[in-house]
Chains A and B, each alone.
Chain A
Amino acid sequence: MLKNDRMRHQFKTDVMSGHIVRMMVAPDALAAKIAQSCGAKAVFSAGYATSASALAMPDRGISDFGFALERCREIINAVDIPVFADADTGYGDLDNVKRTVECYEAIGATGIFIEDQVWPKRCGHMDGKKVEPTEVLEAKIKAAKAARKHDDFLIMSRTDARAVYGLDDAIERSKRYKAAGADLIFIEAPQSSEELEKIHEAFPDTPMMANMIEDGKTPLTKTEDLERLGFNIVVHPNAMTYTQTYAEEQLVKTLQRDGTTKAYKDHMITFPKFNEFVGLDKVNARDAMYAPEKMAQFMTD
């Protein structure tokens, strides 16, 4: 089975297993490889992290489809675990949604979510969000389902209506998105454990995602507790970005202060360990495989 087929199948199986799938959002390919090396079963490629790493900009709809797709592709190619993707609003109208689905499916993503914010969107935990009428995402979900080539390329609906119209409206919208064909449901930014419970009660049989943002609107909840609440996916969208930012800031401050990085070295991976992590030995071994003297075996009469 080819990698793309294998990843989609594996992710769908895991999501439907009744156990929760925990995903870090990887800002880049290296972060995704780190997640994989630490045992992550899947990773997420999402807008907040991509906007930060590619543009050093906030998640306010400045980073576009091209940035998001390419970053997701880099991540997919760097790991051998499923990669799910944030497709924002689908980047336009139904024609854009079709292209978005085709492209993400072609690069090997296991699925995408599409949301009902007005473009330019903003991070789900930021203030000032606006959402489209429900019909807009309903039509996008239908277009996405029609565009996908494989049934196990999962389409998740995301509503940001909780912050605008309240939880009941967000649930009602999500019911309509499910009826339009959404395989997975994501209600962004519930504000309490009770709201998380209420979401599960509204969708007892539909796989759902919870979003755990440090300093966000939703209380940070353990994976095990979210699993008990009936969630099938939990994503940690900003933790790797914040950790990178913090670590790099401390490093630069140290260098500015001391004129050397020595005092920070204990917080770094070493040169040999990093080279090992990114597979230098394997690359060198592959390089040697194709040396001219190794080709003599084929240069016979």
Chain B
Amino acid sequence: MTASLIHKLASMDQPIIPAAGDGQTMTLLSQSTFPALFLDGTLTTQTLLDENNQGLLTLSEYAKFCRDMALKKTTPLIGDLQSGFGSPLNTYYAAQELERSGADTIILNDQTYPSHSLNRPTTTTPADLLGKTKAAQDGLENDATELWIKLEGIWDYGTEGFQQRLHYLANIGADAIIIDHYTDDQLNAIIASTPELPIIATWTPNTPHKSGITAWLDTGYLARQAQQARQQALTELKKGAIEYAEK
């Protein structure tokens, strides 16, 4: 289904890939014309566990939900491999499991295990990341399944460290790089360096488009808006309950 998702994205005008973590949002997004949907680990953790820490969600729990959502998909589904759910050996089986569960593209991040939903997460060594990347590649059974690597430590290893990881990942054959937790200057520097792999950047509202970016990866805009709407509705509900009681 996504034999050339990254190429398809490159042919578009910096599309946004929306993130979801619940069925109703997935359905809503499926009815729109997005090129792919991301089943985000943090958003799924919020749905299934009522927690904000993606590291609490185990592979089997996430994969089950992924299978349910995959049955509904009308567009490529991107799965969240987090940091591989353990060592490179775990990553091998986890990538296989997510592919079998219907993910057409898989995102592996460079955090240490377990992953956390933080602005400044701890990242692993380049060698460990490469081991996990190779393991994920080997675990995939369908040549069409893409593997994107999400680098989350530019706040720590800097632009130079980011470029070094990107280069290593190009050597090993990753399909694309996602940059997260970046500053505008850092993103500009990465783009200006003519990266060897397609760059996808995480997106929040008001993020300006930049040439050199292949696509933008949403971080849960709809979920945050929905939560605000629920808060507002809750206020109305409480107000209504008080008025009813007073009558």
A residues at B contact (CB < 8 Å): 2-3, 77, 99, 102-103, 106-108, 283, 286-287, 289-296, 298-301
Contact = CB atoms under 8 A, between A and B. Distances in A.
B3 interface: no
Given A290-B87, A292-B127, 20 more contacts: A99-B71, A102-B71, A103-B67, A106-B71, A107-B100, A283-B89, A286-B138, A289-B134, A289-B138, A290-B89, A290-B131, A290-B134, A290-B135, A291-B131, A292-B128, A293-B127, A295-B126, A296-B127, A299-B126, A299-B171
B92 interface: yes
Given A77-B100, A286-B89, A287-B87, A298 B141 contact: no
Nearest to A3: B141
A61 B127 CA distance: 51
Contacts of A2: 141-142
Given A283-B89, A287-B88, A300 B134 contact: no
B102 A290 contact: no
B188 interface: no
A295 B92 contact: no
Contacts of A103: 67, 71
B92 A286 contact: yes
A102 B171 CA distance: 39
B98 to A, nearest CB: 13
A106 B127 CA distance: 35
Nearest to B144: A2
Contact of B130 (A99, A298, A301): A298
Contacts of B71: 99, 102-103, 106
Interface residues of B, number: 26
Interface in B72-116: 87-89, 91-92, 100, 102
Contacts of B88: 287, 290
Nearest to B125: A292
Contacts of A294: 131
Nearest to A299: B168
B130 A299 contact: yes
Interface of A is mostly: helix
Which of A106, A290, A299 has the most B CB atoms < 10 Å from its CB? A290
13 contacts: A102-B71, A103-B67, A103-B71, A106-B67, A106-B102, A283-B89, A290-B92, A290-B134, A291-B131, A294-B131, A298-B168, A298-B171, A299-B130
Contacts, number: 60
B150 interface: no
Contacts of B168: 298-299
A95 B68 CA distance: 15
Interface in B124-171: 125-128, 130-132, 134-135, 138, 141-142, 167-168, 171
B49 interface: no
B189 interface: no
B154 to A, nearest CB: 19
B89 A287 contact: yes
A156 B126 CA distance: 52
A187 B5 CA distance: 47
Nearest to B136: A290
B200 interface: no
B70 interface: yes
Which of A3, A99, A108, A292 has the most B CB atoms < 10 Å from its CB? A292
A300 B171 contact: yes
Contacts of A291: 131
Contacts of B91: 290
B127 A295 contact: yes
A290 to B, nearest CB: 3
Interface string B204-246: 0000000000000000000000000000000000000000000
B172 interface: yes
Which of B92, B100, B167 has the most A CB atoms < 10 Å from its CB? B100
Contacts of B171: 298-300
A160 B30 CA distance: 41
Contacts of A77: 100
B92 A292 contact: no
Contacts of B125: 292
A72 to B, nearest CB: 13
A91 to B, nearest CB: 15
Contacts of A99: 71
Given A2-B141, A287-B89, A290-B89, A295 B70 contact: no
Interface in B24-80: 67, 70-71
